[in-house]
Amino acid sequence: MDYALQQFLNAASFGAEYALIALGLAIVFSLMGLVNFAHGEIIAIASYAAFFLILVGIDNPAVVALVAIAASVLGAILFERVAFRPVRHAPVATGLLTAFGVSIVVQNAFLLFVSPRPRPLPVFGGLNRTVELGGLKVQLLQLLEIGVTLAAISALLVFLRRSTLGLAMRAAARDFNTVRLMGLRANRVIATAFAISGLLAGIAAVFIVARRGSIEPDMGFMPVLKAFVACVIGGFGSLGGAVLGGFVLGFVEVGILLVLPQSMGGLKDAVVFSLIALLLVARPQGILGSRVELGDKER
């Protein structure tokens, strides 16, 4: 029983990390129709900000975490202002290529000006300690990951439902032109969406660095790839879908790892993606996505 509970917690922790990152991708996509593959570099910016802080002698984990999250918010806003705003009205493919361009530029900047090799960053190592919870030995990091993810999602829900800007973002996701006609500034709405995605990426970065204990220029690539898959599973553009997709992916990955016979270990990713493909055959729009026909105005 303990074993099953522990593995359940492991899967939930995987899912929470994917959900945090997927939510950031989904918020931007819901407004701009942009799959921001540079989201991984926002994670890297947060991590390298923490690294630089340690270099200058500031090693209080709470301070480092706050600065890292602030750096990722600023980084996301900067990406929007410098790279994505000029191509906002361009075809979707242009935005996608811009995202890849930003990703490559930022990765190479870290590579050239810091190091292509992993750099140690043990500042959040204290989160890896084990705590007892009802007789179960649990990593503090896992509990924090699940708890903070749920808190962040709840806070985001409140923001989207109760604040004017949040309501504007929801409305803009359905019909941006109408929102602008009502006097809301598009730049402000979109910049806020990027800031929120940066905030979520920054929180995820703290957890990723805590677990890895090191940073490297392409450290954001795999998490964002997983988050992209989570968004596809949940339904691209659906915020709830992104969260659900993240957790589904986490549980599928851990489940496959445990169930697949050792001799078939090399097929792990193939099995995971086959399951996802089957799901998409049944629901091409993802679990919570709405079906869009050619000519439909709303997503």
Partner 1 sequence: MLKTLLATTATLVLSGAASAEVLKIGLANPMTGDYAPYGEGNGAACMAEIINETAAAGDVTVEIMMEDSRSDPQLTLSLAQKYLDAGAVIVHGTPFPDSLIPMAAMAQGYGAIVYSPQITQVEMHEAGLTNFTAGVAPDDVGASAMASTVYAKGARNAVLMTSEDAGSWTAGTPVWFGEAFEALGGKVMAKLNHSIGTSDWSPQVTEIMAMSPVPDVVHICSIVPDVGILARQLVSAGYAGLVVGCDGFDDPSLEATAGSPEVLSHIMFATHVPVLPDSEAAKFVQTCKDRGYSVNGIFDALGGDMVRILVEAASDAGTTTDGMAIQTALRARASFDLMTGGSLSFTEKGTWPIRAVPIIGFEDGKRVLVSYDTPSFLPHTK
* Residue 54 amino acid letter: I
Nearer to partner 1, 33 or 122 (CB): 122
Q: Judged by CB under 8 A, does residue 83 bind partner 1? A: no
Q: Judged by CB under 8 A, does residue 247 bind partner 1? A: no
> For partner 1, which residue of 89, 117, 162, 297 counts as binding (CB under 8 A)?
117
Q: Judged by CB under 8 A, does residue 61 bind partner 1? A: no
The residue length of the chain stands at 299
Q: Judged by CB under 8 A, does residue 122 bind partner 1? A: yes
Helix 39-55, helix 2-32: angle, nearest 10: 110
Question: Is the CB of residue 171 less than 8 Å from the CB of residue 189?
Answer: no
Nearer to partner 1, 32 or 219 (CB): 219
Q: Computed over its alpha carbons, how large is the radius of gyration of the chain?
A: 19
- Whole-number Cα distances in Å, 134 to 9, 16, 138, 224: 13, 21, 10, 34
> For partner 1, which residue of 7, 83, 279, 285 counts as binding (CB under 8 A)?
7
Among the residue ranges 155-163, 196-204, 230-238, 256-264, the one whose residues contact partner 1 (CB under 8 A): 256-264
* DSSP character at residue 56: T
Beta bridge partners, 214, equal 120
Q: Judged by CB under 8 A, does residue 144 bind partner 1? A: no
> For partner 1, which residue of 28, 76, 156, 254 counts as binding (CB under 8 A)?
254
- Whole-number Cα distances in Å, 180 to 10, 28, 127, 168: 44, 17, 44, 9
> Least distance in Å: CB of 114 to partner 1?
12
Q: Which of residues 208-227 bind partner 1 (CB under 8 A)?
A: 208, 211-214, 217-218, 222
Q: Judged by CB under 8 A, does residue 48 bind partner 1? A: no
Q: Judged by CB under 8 A, does residue 6 bind partner 1? A: yes
* DSSP character at residue 132: E
User: Left if phi > 0, otherwise alpha if psi is -120 to 50, otherwise beta: which for 29?
Assistant: alpha
Beta bridge partners, 120, equal 214
Q: Judged by CB under 8 A, does residue 1 bind partner 1? A: no
* Residue 37 amino acid letter: F
| CA–CA gap between residue 279 and residue 248 (Å, rounded) | 11
Q: Judged by CB under 8 A, does residue 274 bind partner 1? A: no
> Least distance in Å: CB of 70 to partner 1?
24
- Which positions lie near partner 1, rule CB under 8 A? 2-3, 6-7, 10-11, 13-14, 17, 111, 115-122, 125, 128-130, 137, 139, 142, 208, 211-214, 217-218, 222, 254, 257-258, 260, 262, 265-266, 268-269
